[in-house]
Structure 1
Amino acid sequence: MTALLSSPAAVLTGDGRLDFFATDSVGAVWHMRQNAPHGPFGPWESLGGEVRDPCAIQNQDGRIELFAIEADTGAVLNGRQSVPGSGTRR
C-alpha cells in the first residue's frame, strides 16, 4: 500500500462499525472497515480511481455513500453500497 495523503473520511454504520476512506499520492481511494463494533479493523483495500477530498455518509436506508472530486475534471463523483453492510462499490 502507498502512503495515504488525505485525512480519512469516517462514517459510523447502523450496526456500530466504523468505515474509513482516504486517498493516496495518485488519487486512488482506500477503504478500511472495522470488523465489529469497538473491535479491530481489517486491512486497507484499494478501490482505485483518481480523486481527491473523499467524504462518506450513511444515507437513510443505511448504505454508505462516498463522494469525491474527480482529479482531472473537478466533477463530484458518487458511489454507494448495493445493500447496507455489504462491500463498497465504486
Structure 2
Amino acid sequence: MKQVEIRSEVLGFAEQMEKRLQSHDDRPGWKKEPDAYLYDLLVSKVEKLGVTDFSDREAHLKLTTDIANFAMMLNDNMRRKEREHESRN
C-alpha cells in the first residue's frame, strides 16, 4: 500500500479534533454508543451550525470540529464492526 502523505491542513484539523476529544476524556467514549445516537448528535451539531452567526468564529470552530469528531466516531464504529465480522468468518 502506498504511504499517504497527510496535508498540513488535515493534520492541523486532526489536532483540533483530538483536543476536543481530550477535553471530554471524563466521558466513557463512543465505542459502545449506538450508531443512531451518534448520528443524532452529528445532525444536531450540523443544525446548530446552520443557525450560528458566521461572525462567531469560536462557535464555528467548535461546531465544525464536533461535526468531524462525530463523523469520525461513526466511521470508527462501522470499521470496527466490519473487522469483527471479518474475524468471525
Provide TM-score, normalisation by structure 1: 0.22
* Structure with greater proportional strand content: 1
* Higher-Rg member (1/2): 2
Provide TM-score, normalisation by structure 2: 0.22
